[in-house]
Amino acid sequence: MSDTLIFAMEVTLNGLMAGVLYALVALGFVLIFKASGIFNYAQGVMALFAAMTLVGIMDGQVPFAHLINAIFGTKVHHFGWHVPALAAIALTMLVMIALAWAVNRFVMRFLVNTEPIILFMATIGLAYFLEGFGDLMWGADIKKLDVGLPQGINETIDEVTFGMFGYGFFIDNLDIVASIIAALLVAALVAFSQYTKQGRALRAVADDHQAALSVGISLNFIWVLVWSIAGFVALVAGIMWGAKSGVQFSLSLIALKALPVLMLGGFTSIPGAIVGGLIIGVGEQLFEFLLGPALGGATENWFAYVLALVFLVFRPQGLFGEKIIERV
Amino acid sequence: MLDAAEGYTTADGRKIGGVLMEMKNITLRFGGVVAIKDISFDIREGEIRAIIGPNGAGKSSMLNVISGFYNPQEGEVWFRGERRPPMKPYQVAQLGIARTFQNIALFEGMTVLDNVMTGRLTQMKTTLLDQAIWWGKAEREETENREKVEKIIDFLEIQSIRKTPVGRLPYGLKKRVELARALAAEPRLLLLDEPMAGMNVEEKEDMSRFILDVNDEFGTTIALIEHDMGVVMDLSDRVVVMDYGKKIGDGTPDEVRSNQDVIDAYLGVAHD
C-alpha cells in the first residue's frame, strides 16, 4: 500500500474524531432550535462557561474572587479544597440548570411571540454577557482541565496498524473517549425525546405552541428544560474541548465551526448534526492533507465555510433538514 | 329556571346533572372593542351545550374565555362549584377542560398516535427523574396510558392511520385526530370550536355521530360552537345564541328556534 493512502487513512480517522467534537457543539444548537425556534448563538460560550465552572469547582476556587477582593480588600482565592471530578460535574450541571432558569426568567420570557431575529439577537447579548460573567466569576487565565480522561496515543491502535502497514497510526485516547461519550449522549437524547413524556411534550412545543398549551403543557417548564439540556450538552462539549486544548476563551469560537456543520446537516436534524460534524471533520483534515501544501496550508480555517457555502447554493435545507413547502 | 344542583331529563330520556361550569356576567374587551358583553349561562354535567351565532358574534372569544386563552375584564368563571381565578391555558387544561381549535392545532410533524398521547400528559404523574430512569414507574405508566389511547383511537375509527404523521392527513381526519387528542385527557368538559367547519356533508354526519357517541359512551360534558344552525339543533340539549357580543337567546333547540330575536339575527331584519 502506498504511503499516501496509509497517511490518508490516519488523517481520515483523526478527522472523524474531530468531527465528533464538532457534532457535539452542533447538537446543542439543534436541540434549542428544534424546541423553540431560537438559534442560540451563546451555545459556544455556554460550553466555555461550563468548562470554567467545572475547573473552578474542582480546584476549590472562590467565585468572584477578584470582585470580592477589590471591594473588601481581602485576599481570598481558594477555599483550599479539591472536589472530585464526578461531584464537580454534578455541581456544574446544577449551575447550568440555574443558568437555564435565569435565561428563561430574565430574558426569553419577555420575548415570547417575537420575531426569530429578535430572539437571535438576545442570544448574542447572552453570549457577551456570559463571556464577561464567566471571566468575572472564575478569572480570565487559561486553565488546565483534567477530569481523569485518558490521554495520549492509543498503544493498541498504534501496534495493530504498525503490524498491518508497517506504520503506526497516532490516535489520541481522548478522541476515542470523546467519540464514545458523544455516541452515548446522542442515543440518550434521542431516547429521551422519543420515549418519555417530557420528550413528547418537548416535541409538541416545538411543533405548535397553542396546541401544546391546550393539552396542559407549561411552556416555561419546557423552555427551562430545553435550555438545561443545551447546558448539559455544552458541559460535555466543554469537558472534551477543555481537556483537549485547555479552558480558554478560544473555546467559545469552536461554536462558529458548528455553523457550517449545521448548514451541511440541516438545522432541525439531530442525525444531521452528527453526519455534518463528521463530514466537516474528515473533509477539512483530508483537504489539508491532500491539497493543503499546494494551496499554502492552513486550509482548515476556511474549508468548512466554503463547503457550507456550496451546500447553501445546491441544497439550502441541508442534508437532513426539513424542506417546508408552503401551500398557496 | 332550573336549580343549580338539580338536573333535568332530556327529550330522548338522558339524565342531565347539576351545574358543572357557570359563566357569570362575563365581559371581554380588546381595547375599545367589546367582544363579549355581560353574558351569563351555565353548562351542566353530561350535557351537550351549544353556543351559536352569526360570524363575529363572539362565540370563539367565549370559548377562549372558558379555556383560559383570554381572561375577561369583568365577570366570574365558576367551575365545579368553585370560582376559577385567572389562569393560563395550560392550567385550565390541567383542571380537566380539553379543547379543539377552529383552525386545527395539531402537532403536524408527529404521528397520530403521538398526537393523541400528548392528550394524556395531564394524566401522567411521573417526574422527570422517573422518566430519566425509565424502567419501572415510567414504563408502566406509558403502557397504561398507551392502552387508553388505543381505545380512543379504536373508538374514533382512526386505527389505520395510527402511525401516519398528521401533516399528511386530509382535513376531515385531522379534525377527528384533534377530537381524539382532546378526548384522551378524559376531560370533565370538552370544548369543540366549530367541529364541522369546512366539512362536506358526509364528514359532518360522521362528526355528529362521534360527538353523540362520546357523550353517550363516556358521559362527557360537551360545549360546542357552530354557526351551522341545522347541525347544532339536532345535536345539542340546550343552546346559547349570541349576536354582536350579547346573549339573545338561551334554551332548548325548540325554544331557541321560535325566539324572534334569534330569527332576526340569522335571517337579518330591516333596522328602522
Q: What percent of chain B clears pLDDT 90, i.e. is strictly above it?
A: 60
Confidence class of residue A24 from pLDDT cuts 50, 70 and 90? confident
Confidence class of residue B169 from pLDDT cuts 50, 70 and 90? very high
- Nearest-CA distance A176 → chain B (Å): 26
Judge whether residue B271 has pLDDT over 80: no
- Nearest-CA distance B95 → chain A (Å): 9
**Domain boundaries A3-314, CATH class:** mainly alpha
Domains of chain A, residue spans: 3-314
Q: Do A276 and A24 form a contact (C-beta atoms < 8 A)?
A: no
CA distances from A6 to A10, A86, A161, A166, B7 (A): 6, 39, 10, 10, 86
C-alpha cell at B271: 333596522
- Nearest-CA distance B196 → chain A (Å): 19
What element of type H or E holds A201?
helix A197-207
CA distances from A298 to A17, A279, A284, A301, A305 (A): 19, 18, 10, 6, 13
- Using the Cβ of A243 and the Cβ atoms of chain B, whether some distance falls under 8 Å is answered with no
Say which residues have a Cβ less than 8 Å from residue A253's Cβ, sequence separation at least 6. Answer: A44
- Using the Cβ of A201 and the Cβ atoms of chain B, whether some distance falls under 8 Å is answered with yes
Q: What percent of chain A clears pLDDT 70, i.e. is strictly above it?
A: 97
Instruction: Flag if B118 and A201 touch (Cβ within 8 Å).
Output: yes
What pLDDT is attached to residue A112?
73
Judge whether residue A293 has pLDDT over 80: yes
What pLDDT is attached to residue B67?
94
- How many CA atoms lie within 13 Å of A173's alpha carbon, on the beta-carbon side? 9
What pLDDT is attached to residue B46?
93
pLDDT tens digits, B67-87 = 999 999 999 999 999 999 999
What pLDDT is attached to residue A324?
57
Angle between helices A197-207 and B137-155 (to 10 degrees): 50
What's chain A's average pLDDT? 85
For A258-273, the DSSP string reads HHHHHHHH-TT-HHHH
Indicate the residue of A192, A203, A214 with minimum beta-carbon distance to B93: A214
Q: Chain A residues with CB inside 8 Å of B93's CB?
A: 213-216
Architecture of domain B8-96+187-267: 3-Layer(aba) Sandwich (3.40)
pLDDT tens digits, A50-105 = 999 999 999 888 888 888 888 888 888 888 788 898 999 999 999 999 999 999 99
What pLDDT is attached to residue B23?
95
For residue A57, the tally of other CB atoms under 10 A from its CB is: 23
Judge whether residue A305 has pLDDT over 60: yes
What pLDDT is attached to residue B123?
87
B28 phi and psi angles, rounded to 5 deg: -125, 125
Q: Chain A residues with CB inside 8 Å of B109's CB?
A: 203, 206-207, 322
In terms of DSSP bridges, do strands B82-83 and B97-99 run parallel, antiparallel, or are they unpaired? unpaired
**Helix, strand or coil, per DSSP, at residue A1:** coil
**Helix, strand or coil, per DSSP, at residue A321:** coil
What's chain B's average pLDDT? 89
pLDDT tens digits, A160-181 = 888 888 888 888 888 888 888 8
Angle at B193 between CA B94 and CA B229, to 5 degrees: 145
pLDDT tens digits, B149-163 = 999 999 999 999 999
DSSP at B160: G
With an 8 Å Cβ cutoff, the interface of chain B facing chain A consists of: 67, 69, 88-91, 93-94, 98-99, 101, 105-110, 114, 117-122, 124, 126, 128, 131-132, 134, 138, 141-142, 181-182, 185
Judge whether residue A326 has pLDDT over 60: no
What pLDDT is attached to residue A319?
81
Confidence class of residue B20 from pLDDT cuts 50, 70 and 90? very high
Residue of B nearest to A194 (CA): B114
Q: What is the mean pLDDT of residues A293-309?
A: 86
Give the residue from B271, B235, B241, B272 showing the smallest Cα distance to B257.
Answer: B241
In terms of DSSP bridges, do strands B221-226 and B82-83 run parallel, antiparallel, or are they unpaired? unpaired
**Which of B121, B131, B139, B183 best probes binding to A when mutated, by most A CB atoms within 10 angstroms?**
B121
For residue B129, the tally of other CB atoms under 10 A from its CB is: 9
For residue A138, the tally of other CB atoms under 10 A from its CB is: 25
pLDDT tens digits, A196-237 = 888 889 888 888 888 999 999 998 888 899 899 989 989 998
Where b means 16+ CB within 10 Å and e means fewer, A75-112 reads eeeeeeeebebeebbebbbebbbebbeebbeeebeeee
Instruction: Flag if B117 and A207 touch (Cβ within 8 Å).
Output: no
- Nearest-CA distance A268 → chain B (Å): 12
Domains of chain B, residue spans: 8-96+187-267
Q: Which of B154-168, B224-238, B243-257 has the lowest mean pLDDT?
A: B224-238
Q: Do A230 and A43 form a contact (C-beta atoms < 8 A)?
A: yes
Q: What is the mean pLDDT of residues B213-242?
A: 89
For residue B138, the tally of other CB atoms under 10 A from its CB is: 21
d(CA A238, CA A224): 20
d(CA B76, CA B27): 9
Residue of B nearest to A219 (CA): B90
Torsion over CA: A219, B190, B252, B205 (sign): positive
What pLDDT is attached to residue B185?
93
pTM of whole model > 0.80?
Answer: yes
What pLDDT is attached to residue B107?
92
Q: Chain A residues with CB inside 8 Å of B110's CB?
A: 200, 203-204, 207
d(CA A35, CA B105): 17
Q: Do B257 and B266 form a contact (C-beta atoms < 8 A)?
A: no
**Helix, strand or coil, per DSSP, at residue A129:** helix
d(CA B93, CA B89): 6
Q: What percent of chain A clears pLDDT 90, i.e. is strictly above it?
A: 21
Instruction: Flag if A200 and B108 touch (Cβ within 8 Å).
Output: no
pLDDT tens digits, B177-220 = 999 999 999 999 999 999 988 888 888 889 999 999 999 999 99
Q: Chain B residues with CB inside 8 Å of A199's CB?
A: 131
